[in-house]
Structure 1
Amino acid sequence: MGNSSGASLEEITTCESHQWYRKFMTECPSGLLTFYEFKKFFGLKNLSEKSNAYVETMFATFDLNDDGFIDFMEYVAALSLVLKGEVQQKLRWYFKLYDVDGSGCIDREELLLIVKSIRAINGSKNEMSAEDFTNMMFDKIDINGDGELSYEEFVEGIRNDEMLLKMLTESLDLTHIIQRIQGELKENY
């Protein structure tokens, strides 16, 4: 996001930017979104411990300067990525999201934790269990068999497997959150 993802304010319309700014400043007049406000902002209540940990990780990926807050520019960069980001940009963000401990690699436990958390938040009922999905991803893209996915393995593996790309994209589809924001914006005009 921001400069690192290639998403920029120029990629969104002036009208969108104005609407997002009004929504952002209405929800957090200080101009800084805390983790608590982030959860409230997106209607995330009564989360399990695992789901809450996932939301914390998501918050951290949007908090580009690691100051514990999401400012308006970070917010716009995140929305721009979700709405208009290219596959490579989204894969970079997905990797950062899945790399919970920031080690530069994703291990099975991290992937399983995030998959379970995403499913809990989205309420998705998939045919494949979270464990089976995690094992399938590792079987397909852990090229060197070390039990960890490097950034390169992750990006190349997902890009070269249409089914994994589709499953990953659908599991992290945030359009319902974007639609909620846009719906609230329309109500206020």
Structure 2
Amino acid sequence: MKALEDIIRNETKYLAISKAYESVGKIRHEKSFEILREGLSKDSWNETIRQGVMRGLGELRDIRGKDILIENSKLGKHVLLRSSAVLALGKIGEGNKELLPWLYKYLRDPYVLVRRAAVQAIADIGLMESIRELEDAFISELDAHVKRSIRKTINEIIEGKREKEEIRNLRKEIDELRKRIMEINESKKNYKP
């Protein structure tokens, strides 16, 4: 954590600071939320640093970040910041329908980036009750990329095949740990004092 805090304090490149904030969220340290909240005060070109804060809040998956994300997803904020905040709402709302009304609103946003982020966030939450809103958005959507994302999300939710990346990573880690345990057990069997 200290290395990330040093980057945040001393680095001059916006992208490096942004990535440091994102990493602060990923490590889920007890101080992560406070550090991320402090990052909101840093100005940068195209809101690069605050985008990293939004991604960090999403990675932290702490519901305390909800109000910050909602505030930064509103019209009037930079579109890149808004789309980062909307994506993060999907991560903190995984399996939780409380945030869906906010995300449904963004399906009709004037900015394509925000609409795409809303579709991905709804996919991350992954609840069947989203199907109706997604179908309605599909009908009115003009952008082909967003339409394709909506169709894909609907299919994934209906088929129930959407496996969360985090779950896949955990399974991979478990498999690696099992392999390591087997290697340790083998080395114990072959050990002769």
Fold similarity call, TM over 0.5? no
- Return the structure number with greater helix share: 2
| Bigger CA radius of gyration | 2
Higher RCO, Cα 8 Å, sep 6+: 1
- Return the structure number with greater strand share: 1
TM-score (norm 2): 0.28
